[in-house]
Amino acid sequence: MESEEDAARAELTGLQERLIALEERLTALSITRRTLTELLPAPPVDETSSAEEPPGSERGRPSTEQPSYPNRAQQTTSRKAQGGLKGPEDQKIVTLIASADRPLRAREVTIALGQEPSRSQVEVIRRACLKLARAGRLRVLSTGELTGPEGAA
């Protein structure tokens, strides 16, 4: 009986040590994720917008052609082509969740993005994640946790 107790205590000690090591690893990964999220590049800026003259214009003379602006339907189509992403914050959320080694809760995403995990801020992130899930960029599990899209590694 004593040998079984000793074996159980030894196993418990080993599990406690493993738990401590895993918690330290989780903390390190959280810090790494936060750092990477901060370092994600902003979306590219159209460099030709003001640096060049419009095509067909002579130097110093304005072009007689009207500039073409995309209509709302074209803007919606291009957003759909991007998977519903509207800005760098959406891209950070998708990258963060897709690169996680386990499903994340909205509160964890909020913290990893470096934001205050207040109830209202967590709800803002949760709504953004649900929007991204509807666009097919994320999946919401039955537990409410978030993960990358189907088939993402």
Separation in Å, CA 79 to CA 59, 116, 125, 129, 139 = 35, 29, 20, 16, 19
Pull the structure tokens for residue 43. Answer: 């979306």
Burial class (CB in 10 A: 0-12, 13-18, 19+), 36: middle
- Residue 73 is predicted with a pLDDT of 46
Q: How many CA atoms lie within 13 A of 36 on its CB side?
A: 16
- Residue 118 is predicted with a pLDDT of 92
- Residue 26 is predicted with a pLDDT of 82
Q: Rounded distance, CA 86 to CA 79, Å?
A: 7
* In contact, 113 and 96? CB cutoff 8 Å: yes
pLDDT in tens, the chain (153 residues): 889 999 999 999 999 999 888 888 887 787 777 777 666 665 555 555 444 444 444 554 544 554 444 444 444 444 444 444 467 888 889 888 888 888 999 999 998 888 888 999 999 999 999 999 999 999 999 999 999 887 554
